[in-house]
Amino acid sequence: MPLQDRRAFMAALAAGLGTLPALGLGQPAAWPSRPVKLIVPAAAGGASDRLGRMLAPDFLKALGQPLVVENRAGAGSTLGTASVAGAPADGYTLLLSGVFNSIGAGLYKLKYDFLKDFVQVAPLAFGPNVLVARPEFPAENLAQLVARAKAQPGSINFASGGVGTSGHLLMEMFQHSANVRFTHVAYKGGAPALQDVLAGVTPLMPINQDAALPYIKAGKLKALAVSSAQRNPAYPNVPTFVESGYADVVAISWGGVAAPKGTPAHVVEKLRAVVQAALQRPEIRASLEADGWVVANMAPAEFDAFVRNDTAKMLRIIRDSNISAE
């Protein structure tokens, strides 16, 4: 090749290479370029599973990629959470987080740190526990319940879905605040516990508001108190523990979306925008509110502070009550 032609060829090649960044060659692919996986560390069909699956249509519409929900239950939700903690921080594996993460941090010896190894993307919804009893139970409110408990220490049983569940911890708080003692009957799951309460085997149970609501509406259970700081809109006639005289008895179940620490900030922002937009859809809000959920409305820093405070609170209750998962 003549020297002049060779120089022209090299100049053209250099110019072509210079355009590669503009064409996106050699640059990271835009996120998301494949489906996003949401790990729900609980069984299918429950409240956490429902919160996760309601986001799927918005992910596909806003991001052009489907949200694949995968249930990984076990060990108090720590198995599924651990799988996300060890996943690449690339925005393709997310966690449906919740109060079980706050509890697990104090209840189990974990290989991950929920506060340090995750970034809180966005909250979804909040809901209280409801202390319920059979209609014939001889107490219509907390004052009457406490009076009976003080007259017969330890003689009144309460059911829960297991040691260290949110309902169990709520009752530990209540017993400490009211200076009374009930007997805890721990079941292997909320469903068998609820069935025994409905059958009259166990008289009391703290239960999530969405699970309790249909039985209360049907007259099969009565609500003595809710554990939120303010009354729940789905239970307008049921007082809180706070207004019943127990100011420090506040326990909230919550759900959110988290990602592995180190997930790029622009990906977190995209995720947050999709979640927040989904929560504004009237059909999602109406569905959640009908079951007693309060749709989240928190800025990122506010939600992060809430999660940290909730985790510290659950740890304190577990330690003060000497609760062990063993």
Give the number of other CB atoms < 10 A from CB of residue 179. Answer: 9
217 backbone φψ class: left, alpha, beta (φ>0; ψ -120 to 50): alpha
Beta bridge partners of 126: 254, 294
Taken as a whole, the chain contains a residue count of 326
Average pLDDT of the chain to the nearest whole number: 92
Q: How far is residue 319's CA from residue 311's CA, in Å, rounded to a whole number?
A: 12
- Which pLDDT tens digit goes with each residue over 189-213? 999 999 999 999 999 999 999 999 9
Q: How far is residue 230's CA from residue 208's CA, in Å, rounded to a whole number?
A: 16
Q: What is the pLDDT of residue 67?
A: 97
User: Are 49 and 20 in contact, with CB atoms under 8 Å apart?
Assistant: no
Q: What is the pLDDT of residue 297?
A: 87
Q: How far is residue 112's CA from residue 102's CA, in Å, rounded to a whole number?
A: 13
User: Are 249 and 227 in contact, with CB atoms under 8 Å apart?
Assistant: yes
Q: Between residues 12 and 208, which one has the greater pLDDT?
A: 208
Question: How does strand 67-71 pair with strand 204-208?
Answer: unpaired
Give the number of other CB atoms < 10 A from CB of residue 254. Answer: 24
Domains and CATH numbers, the chain: 36-126+253-320 (3.40.190.150), 128-226 (3.40.190.10)
User: What letter represents residue 36's amino acid?
Assistant: V
The pLDDT of residue 17 is above 50:
no
Q: What is the pLDDT of residue 168?
A: 97
Alpha-carbon Rg for the chain in angstroms: 25
Residue 21 pLDDT grade (very low, low, confident, very high; cuts 50, 70, 90): very low
Least confident of 38-52, 136-150, 263-277: 38-52
- Which pLDDT tens digit goes with each residue over 47-84? 899 999 999 999 999 999 999 999 999 999 999 999 99
User: Are 190 and 43 in contact, with CB atoms under 8 Å apart?
Assistant: no
Burial 24-51 (b: 16+ CB within 10 A, else e): eeeeeeebbeeebbbbbbbeeebbbbbb
- Which pLDDT tens digit goes with each residue over 126-149? 999 999 999 999 999 999 999 999
The pLDDT of residue 25 is above 90:
no
What is the percent of the chain where pLDDT is above 70? 91
Residue 29 pLDDT grade (very low, low, confident, very high; cuts 50, 70, 90): low
Q: How far is residue 111's CA from residue 52's CA, in Å, rounded to a whole number?
A: 25
